[in-house]
């Protein structure tokens, strides 16, 4: 049988094994406040709690005490011009509970780039101010003169 | 004697060659070879990119795995590569989601496509091997069996077969779900109209193409007729040239 096609399980037959799992999981920022040893994942809709547990333990070598899942239905909204109702795809969230003492904090990926952006912004602002001051000082003798008027 | 001398000369040439080339070969092919090894830290941080790629505008990456590359690999190698790709995809999905949540641009989104392409190719290669093995051992492909079936509305489709724990006549759920074609007056009437619709559509297309070709020939008189015929194989160009629409409006001299 091909990779994605498994024979039906009957009592006594060998255990079904997945050789090339195509489940995906993504670590997401927790939607609610959760304990530090709990991690929230979004995962494939087909995954069960056992799948999540095996996935974490076998592929990522992360021990988990318990797994809880829920299916989140996103809020419906209306299309702005046509007015029909839009509903995004459902998401399955898995909460992986790690043993006591193991901690995970979602890292801030944009901390450094944020600082750099702030610096750039300040620089640009300073430059603009300087430019304006220059303009004022250049034109201080030409009071009440239209901007387009030059000699 | 002469030939011996020649052989000797040749040998010396080879020796020289070897002497000259061997340091280079070692230098470029064996010792200076660049290869990267991913550190298997087996951690939750594997869901995130390496720290130097955080908040970067562009991340450069190589090409995806092609089928020809993968065909050279052993089964165990493919199995390992699958998990590498799986982890990479998870990482990219995580980063993409985080970028979306923080209202930032996800750098180099083509990486995701590359990984998915590689995974598809890998699965295809595994499938090829599987089919070859099954054909050798059993004479069948080992693929999911299926056949062309006619649906309740008389339309043909590919029915993928499935294994069931109970026989067909006992399987009430299956009989409720899968209804195949059985003669019915209304279905016949539907099919008649359905086919008529297809027929009209086809006829309209034929006429449209015919007129379009005439229009093209009028606008571009020095056009390559073979290329035109290739693009519109259903149009009879000779017939189109005989049409009264061909040639434009002008008074004969």
- Report d(CA B178, CA B155) in Å as an integer: 14
Nearest residue in chain A measured CA to CA from B125? A3
Structure tokens at A77: 């909204």
Residue A54 lies in a domain: yes
Chosen from A60, A106, A108, A117 to mutate, greatest number of chain B CBs within 10 A: A60
Q: Apex CA B58: angle with CA A110 and CA B118, to 5°?
A: 110
pLDDT of residue A130: 96
pLDDT of residue B102: 93
B37-B41-B47-B53 Cα dihedral, nearest 10 degrees: -50
Three-state secondary structure call for residue B166: coil
Note whether B54 contacts A104, CB cutoff 8 Å. Answer: no
Per-residue pLDDT tens for B101-122? 999 999 999 999 999 999 999 9
Per-residue pLDDT tens for B8-50? 454 444 444 444 444 444 444 455 556 666 555 668 999 999 9
Dihedral sign, Cα of residue B211, residue B212, residue B215, residue B216: negative
pLDDT of residue B39: 58
Q: How many domains, in total, are found in chain A?
A: 2
CA distance B62 to chain A (A): 22
Of B82, B83, B127, the CB nearest to A2: B127
Nearest residue in chain B measured CA to CA from A3? B127
Which residue has better confidence, B149 or B8?
B149
Percent of residues, chain B, with pLDDT higher than 70:
81
Residue A50 lies in a domain: yes
Structure tokens at A109: 């990926």
Note whether A10 contacts B54, CB cutoff 8 Å. Answer: no
Q: Are A75 and A125 part of one and the same domain? A: no
Q: Domain range spanning residue A121?
A: 109-141
Q: Are A90 and A116 part of one and the same domain? A: no
Note whether B143 contacts A42, CB cutoff 8 Å. Answer: no
Nearest residue in chain B measured CA to CA from A104? B44
Q: Are A77 and A119 part of one and the same domain? A: no
Residue A12 lies in a domain: no
Residue A121 lies in a domain: yes
Stretches where chain A sits below pLDDT 50 are 1
Q: Which residues of chain A make contact with B142, given a CB cutoff of 8 A? A: 1-2
- Report d(CA B91, CA B97) in Å as an integer: 10
Residue B215 CB neighbours (<10 A): 13
**DSSP H or E run through A145:** none
Note whether B90 contacts A26, CB cutoff 8 Å. Answer: yes
Per-residue pLDDT tens for B213-226? 999 999 998 999 99
Residue A56 lies in a domain: yes
pLDDT of residue A147: 73
Q: Are A37 and A71 part of one and the same domain? A: yes
**DSSP H or E run through A15:** none
Q: Which residues of chain B make contact with A10, given a CB cutoff of 8 A? A: 165
Per-residue pLDDT tens for B125-147? 999 999 999 999 999 998 888 99
- The answer, for A43 touching chain B at a CB cutoff of 8 Å, is no
pLDDT of residue B99: 95
Residue A150 lies in a domain: no
Q: Are A31 and A86 part of one and the same domain? A: yes
- The answer, for A21 touching chain B at a CB cutoff of 8 Å, is yes
3-state secondary structure B54-101: CCCCCCCCCCCCCHHHHHCCCHHHHHHHHHHHHHHHHHHHHHHHHHHH
Bridge partners of residue B149, in order along the sequence: B157
Name the one residue in this structure whose structure tokens are 């300087």. A130
Three-state secondary structure call for residue B219: helix
């Amino acid at each position: 049988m091909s990779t994605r096609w498994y024979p039906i399980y009957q009592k006594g037959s060998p255990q079904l094994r997945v050789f090339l799992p195509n489940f995906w999981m993504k670590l997401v920022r927790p939607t609610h406040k959760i304990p530090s040893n709990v991690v929230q994942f979004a995962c494939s809709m087909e995954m069960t709690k056992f799948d999540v547990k095996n996935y974490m333990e076998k592929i990522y070598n992360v021990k988990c005490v318990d797994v809880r899942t829920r299916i989140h239905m996103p809020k419906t909204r209306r299309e702005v011009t046509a007015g029909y109702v839009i509903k995004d795809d459902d998401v399955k969230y898995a909460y992986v509970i790690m043993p006591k003492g193991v901690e995970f904090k979602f890292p801030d990926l944009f901390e450094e780039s944020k600082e750099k952006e702030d610096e750039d912004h300040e620089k640009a602002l300073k430059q603009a101010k300087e430019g304006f001051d220059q303009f004022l000082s250049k034109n201080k003798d030409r009071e009440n003169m239209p901007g387009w008027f030059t000699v | 004697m002469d030939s011996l001398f020649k052989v000797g000369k040749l040998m010396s040439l080879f020796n020289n060659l070897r002497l000259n080339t061997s340091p280079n070969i070692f230098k470029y092919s064996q010792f200076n070879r660049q290869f990267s090894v991913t550190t298997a830290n087996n951690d939750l941080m594997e869901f995130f990119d390496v720290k130097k790629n955080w908040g970067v505008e562009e991340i450069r990456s190589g090409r995806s795995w092609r089928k020809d590359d993968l065909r050279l690999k052993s089964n165990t190698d493919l199995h390992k590569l699958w998990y590498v790709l799986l982890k990479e995809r998870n990482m990219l999905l995580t980063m993409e989601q985080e970028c979306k949540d923080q209202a930032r641009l996800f750098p180099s989104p083509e990486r995701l496509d590359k990984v998915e392409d590689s995974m598809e190719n890998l699965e295809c290669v595994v499938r090829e091997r599987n089919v070859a093995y099954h054909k050798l051992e059993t004479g069948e492909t080992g693929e999911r069996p299926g056949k062309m079936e006619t649906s309740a509305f008389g339309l043909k489709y590919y029915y993928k077969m499935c294994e069931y724990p109970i026989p067909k006549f006992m399987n009430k759920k299956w009989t409720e779900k899968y209804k195949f074609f059985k003669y019915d007056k209304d279905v016949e009437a539907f099919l008649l109209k359905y086919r008529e619709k297809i027929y009209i559509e086809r006829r309209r297309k034929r006429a449209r193409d015919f007129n379009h070709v005439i229009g093209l020939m009028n606008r571009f008189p020095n056009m390559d007729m073979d290329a035109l015929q290739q693009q519109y194989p259903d149009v009879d160009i000779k017939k189109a040239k005989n049409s009264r629409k061909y040639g434009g409006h002008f008074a004969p001299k």
